[in-house]
Structure 1
């Protein structure tokens, strides 16, 4: 890359801290995911907060073969995690003129440290690490409005296009419910914008966790007890603007109400 990983990371971190949109990608986009994760690691080292979890996203279908991956990952930081209270809405910050979206997700809370030297995992081994399963809403967000249009290498470079997580209620008897299948529906301004289903079948939340365990082990960042894993969008990625409200219904496992407000400089507060 003509632009160093640290230069690109510095530009994204500065834009996030200033809550200022970026008109273009800051330099030459990485050509592969290895280079993208170098940018991400540099940005994590610059960001003044603790990683308390990870989001998992999809590599666009047209890039899967070229990039050699179906999923991607990004960090979730402590000061950008909110706990949903029954019937109360959560305000979350979005970058004006940047990108913002809500995503219905199922979230695993990890109960024990993953062995640092374990590079290969089965679904059964991964299940044993799970302490609980929650409903949640990933808050996708970036100062770069075109981040998703530019593809997976750009998404990975900016914290995986993550700007927080709203953690909802714990799902009781989650293993049995996941076997049967869980459903969710997302509303924005009262209108349904997407429905979806997650289950224990192949290519669901458990396989997403296996991916993350192997991915983070190779990066020298094994999952730790207490960390949260947001396993992927169930109903789709739904753009949201400042002033708009969303409700995500998990059909018996809780609803999450949230609204988008303008982000303020420092990356943690509101205007």
Structure 2
């Protein structure tokens, strides 16, 4: 993909963010690989005056990996409020997230699980808010989805959990409710099995697209509840037994 196609794709997605109708896809400007998808993400982020506050990622066994930038402006601490335009819905997903305490720059050998965990400063529950720029995000290619930050809208994070290193993170019971109605309550559910797995993958993947994990950045590791679309004017509560919860007032 040339610079012109990156700009074309970024302009399409930026237009939707600024109020133009959603699009079916990126057409001839669609990225063919991760590097091109990330170039589009970074172009959009620059155009809206954002900066990288972290990443969302997934590394499910036997399936394609994926990752996207999180705009720092969309990261909020719970409890908080989040606007939902009248007549629209927003997606919600309860996840386990990590905060980096030190940089993990590119190097000649892959980072091990232990090295990545040593770089983590904290772990906590999070609820990702989802809103696609496509008419039907299920009908675009994975690279197009990545170009649109995998439909990321924002991330609300809970408090750091003491003693998380000694917890069975894959086996935590997740619970998510909206409007007082429990939507999901089950054990586990992370698409990668263990939420540390996509974090390690991301640390080793990012240098291939000219990026790196940096101290202070937040990494969210995939929905344990699936994607559920809800209307505004409701309270969302998502979290894990013994790991805290996140409260969001949808406005």
Tell me the equivalent position of 1:76: 70
Residue equivalent to 1:113: 103
- Provide the residue aligned with 2:171 in structure 1: 181
CA distance in 2 between partners of 1:146 and 1:60 (Å):
25
- Over residues 136-160 of structure 1, what are the superposed CA-to-partner deviations in whole Å (9 max), with x where a residue is unaligned? 1111222324123424222101122
Q: C-alpha displacement at 1:249, in angstroms?
A: 3.3
* Structure 1 partner of 2:248: 258
Question: Is the CA contact (8 Å cut-off) linking 1:98 and 1:141 kept in structure 2?
Answer: no
Query: Take 1:256 and 1:72, find their aligned partners in 2: how far apart are those partners?
Result: 24
Match of 2:37 in 1: 36
Per the TM alignment, residue 177 of structure 1 is displaced from its structure 2 partner at its CA by: 1.2
Q: How many residues align?
A: 248
Q: Which residue of 1 aligns with 2:22?
A: 22
1:99, 1:145 within 8 Å by CA — same for their partners in 2? no
Q: Is the 8 A contact 1:99 1:147 kept in 2?
A: no
Cα distance change of structure 1 residues 10 and 119 upon mapping to structure 2, 3 Å threshold: farther
Structure 1 distance, partners of 2:101, 2:67, is: 20
Match of 1:12 in 2: 13
Following superposition, the deviation at residue 19 of structure 1 comes to: 4.1
Structure 2: segments with no counterpart, 5+ residues: none
Q: What TM-score does the superposition give when structure 1 sets the normalisation length?
A: 0.80
Shift of 1:181: 2.7
Q: Could you tell me how far 1:182 is from its partner in structure 2? A: 1.7
For the 8 Å contact 1:54–1:228, the answer to whether it is kept is yes
Q: Which one is further off, 128-137 or 152-161?
A: 152-161
Question: Where does 1:53-64 land on structure 2 (aligned, <5 Å)?
Answer: 53-57=54-58, 64=63
Partner of residue 91, structure 1: 81
> Residues 95-145 of structure 1: CA distance to partner in whole angstroms, max 9, x if unpaired?
677773111111111010112335612211111111110111111222324
Q: TM-score, normalised by structure 2?
A: 0.85
Does 1:45 pair with 2:35? no
User: Deviations along 1:149-199, whole A, 9 cap, x unmatched?
Assistant: 424222101122111110101111001113683221111222222234449
Asked if 1 retains the 8 angstrom alpha-carbon contact of 2:54 and 2:218, the reply is: yes
Structure-2 separation of matches of 1:5 and 1:125 = 34
Matched, 1:139 2:129: yes
Per the alignment, do residues 211 and 255 of structure 1 end up closer, same or farther by CA in structure 2, a change over 3 Å counting?
A: same
Describe the shift of the 1:146–1:118 C-alpha distance in structure 2 as closer, same or farther (beyond 3 A): farther
Is the CA contact (8 Å cut-off) linking 2:170 and 2:193 kept in structure 1? no
Within the candidate set 211, 215, 220, 1:225 is matched to 215
Q: What is the CA RMSD across the aligned residues, in angstroms? A: 2.9
Shift of 1:257: 1.9
Would the alpha carbon gap of residues 170 and 144 (structure 1) be closer, same or farther in structure 2, given more than 3 Å must change?
Answer: same
> What SS class does the counterpart of residue 105 from structure 2 fall into?
coil
CA distance in 1, matches of 2:42, 2:25: 17
Match of 1:170, SS state, is: coil
